[in-house]
């Protein structure tokens, strides 16, 4: 099939790539752009390990075609830290031991960041429901929720 | 597979008409990409409709709202006007998938995917929403109820696309609600669902109602007998019992790992009762908000 040429913006940088018409954005990010932070946990939009934001919206990159990135603004986990400075969520996850194997973690961080940008003071229940599309097999979620709340408090206070 | 972006509904319809192979419309893609990946769908042409002018807009129309077919449900939920007028439709659309899926999925896609359990559909039917369809020969407007044709099937012809859904105006003292049963807390497929939309008079009696059930038949159901059971009442116990019985009688579900026929049937009746009560409360609140007497 004929390849497509796509121009987009990723983490603030202009990016161009070639992809197949049926290639998911997740595969483009990982295999062509070597942005391997987003993970393929399921490939069907159920686990959230591939989470990114597209034009400010939290989405599964496995449910977006690379072609659909044309002209869009994409944010991935790779753009979360500010150079060497970790985002409060990243620090809270490290300090709070909110990950074990780490496969779900990029997706959860991207999703949690999107939540706190929309709602700076979520209840635990709101955090859980927002993160319902991010599955974790290791932690049992409790430390994840706690870390999100620690980061949220810091971001409100800062 | 080829991918194209349609710049107009007409162009999309023409491309669909001319494609000899298998074509699919792409808006949110949250069903399409999963089906493509599963391998049972060898698509030759994907037509991305998101660039069609107006197809991502929500506009006030005729006292109600016209919702472009490519409006993501996350966007729909942020629209104060739609949320206030049709909270049941918004909560139904908002139950689909996860936050990530909500960032892309659409009500039109939920409808056109043809799942008997699609969450947006019963609420749209209860709302008596109208679908605008564009084909090579022009535009037609059809009741949502007339779109599903069976599991995975719609009454749309090969070259037609949905361009928008119209939620009609509401009389004063109206409310709607949608409830579903799922085994998990979230991110699941409805085992049974019910949507109720109703209007009250000044005394609090139901003057008009539409009751729709999902996941309990090959297609969404509009249960006239259930509506009739509550019209003229204030949802007393007898009326609610009659509503539930009428709903159960209308059910024609399957037995599968999600639920048995008996469970789906009785649950549909329970959900219809609860949805009717919520819609009733919302109708009364709406009256109070407007200061209606």
* B186 shares contact with chain A (CB less than 8 Å): yes
Residue with tokens 């564009």: B134
pLDDT at residue number B291: 54
Nearest to A63 among B2, B104, B187 (CB): B104
ipTM: 0.98
* B2 shares contact with chain A (CB less than 8 Å): yes
* Residue B271 neighbours by CB under 8 Å, 6+ apart: B179, B180, B181, B192, B193, B194
Task: Test B29 with A51 for CB contact under 8 angstroms.
Answer: no
Task: Test B186 with A2 for CB contact under 8 angstroms.
Answer: no
Task: Give the number of beta-carbon pairs within 8 Å between A and B.
Answer: 90
Task: Test B187 with A132 for CB contact under 8 angstroms.
Answer: yes
Global pTM value: 0.97
* B185 shares contact with chain A (CB less than 8 Å): yes
Q: Is the dihedral of CA A44, A50, A53, A55 positive or negative?
A: negative
Q: Rounded CA gap, A156 and A145, in Å?
A: 16
pLDDT at residue number B108: 98
Q: Quick one: closest CA in A to B3, which residue?
A: A21
What's the whole-number average pLDDT of chain A?
Answer: 97
Reported confidence tier of residue A158, pLDDT bands at 50, 70, 90: low
Q: Is pLDDT above 60 for A35?
A: yes
One digit per residue, the tens of pLDDT, for chain B of length 293 reads 999 999 999 999 999 999 999 999 999 999 999 999 998 789 999 999 999 999 999 999 999 999 999 999 999 999 999 999 999 999 999 999 999 999 999 999 999 999 999 999 999 999 999 999 999 889 999 999 999 999 999 999 999 999 999 999 999 999 999 999 999 999 999 999 999 999 999 999 999 999 999 999 999 999 999 999 999 999 999 999 999 999 999 999 999 998 999 999 999 999 999 999 999 999 999 888 765 44
Q: Nearest C-alpha of chain B: how many angstroms from A50?
A: 10
Q: Rounded CA gap, B221 and B249, in Å?
A: 11
Nearest to B74 among A57, A62, A129 (CB): A57
| Nearest Cα residue to B72 out of B99, B104, B97, B50 | B104
* Chain A partners within 8 Å of B101 (Cβ): 45, 60, 63, 133
Q: Is pLDDT above 70 for A36?
A: yes
Q: Rounded CA gap, B118 and B210, in Å?
A: 18
pLDDT at residue number A30: 98
């Amino acid at each position: 099939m004929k390849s497509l040429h796509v121009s987009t913006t990723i983490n603030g940088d202009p990016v161009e790539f070639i992809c197949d018409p049926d290639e998911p954005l997740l595969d483009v990010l990982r295999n062509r752009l070597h942005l391997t932070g987003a993970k393929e946990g399921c490939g069907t939009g159920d686990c959230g390990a591939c989470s990114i934001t597209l034009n400010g919206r939290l989405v599964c990159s496995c449910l977006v075609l690379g072609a659909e990135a044309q002209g869009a603004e994409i944010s991935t986990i790779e753009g979360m830290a500010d150079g060497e400075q970790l985002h409060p969520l990243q620090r809270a996850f490290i300090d709070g031991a909110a990950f074990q194997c780490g496969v779900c973690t990029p997706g959860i961080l991207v999703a949690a960041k999107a939540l706190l940008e929309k709602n700076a003071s979520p209840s635990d229940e709101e955090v859980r429901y927002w993160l319902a599309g991010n599955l974790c097999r290791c932690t049992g979620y409790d430390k994840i929720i706690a870390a999100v709340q620690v980061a949220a408090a810091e971001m409100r206070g800062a | 597979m080829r991918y194209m972006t349609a710049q107009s509904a007409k162009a999309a319809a023409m491309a669909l008409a001319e494609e000899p192979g298998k074509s699919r419309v792409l808006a949110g893609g949250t069903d399409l990409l999963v089906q493509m990946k599963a391998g049972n769908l060898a698509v030759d042409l994907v037509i991305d409709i998101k660039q069609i002018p107006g197809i991502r807009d929500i506009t006030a129309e005729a006292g109600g709202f016209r919702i472009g077919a490519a409006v993501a449900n996350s966007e729909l939920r942020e629209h104060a006007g739609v949320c206030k007028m049709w909270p049941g439709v918004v909560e139904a659309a908002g139950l689909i998938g996860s936050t990530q899926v909500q960032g892309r999925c659409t009500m039109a896609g939920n409808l056109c995917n043809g799942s008997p359990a699609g969450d947006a559909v019963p609420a749209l039917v209860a709302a008596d929403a109208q679908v605008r369809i564009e084909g090579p020969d022009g535009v037609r407007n059809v009741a949502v109820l007339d779109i599903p044709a069976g599991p995975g099937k719609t009454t749309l012809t090969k070259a037609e696309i949905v361009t928008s859904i119209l939620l009609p105006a509401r009389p004063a003292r109206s409310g709607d609600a949608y409830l579903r049963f799922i085994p998990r807390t979230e991110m699941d497929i409805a085992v049974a669902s019910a949507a109720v939309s109703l209007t009250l008079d000044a005394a609090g009696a139901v003057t008009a109602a539409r009751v729709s059930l999902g996941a309990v038949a090959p297609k969404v159901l509009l249960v006239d007998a259930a509506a009739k059971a509550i019209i003229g009442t204030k949802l007393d116990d007898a009326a609610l019992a009659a509503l539930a019985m009428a709903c159960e009688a209308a059910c024609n579900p399957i037995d599968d790992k999600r639920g048995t026929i008996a469970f789906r049937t009785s649950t549909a009746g329970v959900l219809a009762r609860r949805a009717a009560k919520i819609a009733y409360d919302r109708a009364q609140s709406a009256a109070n908000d407007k200061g209606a007497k």
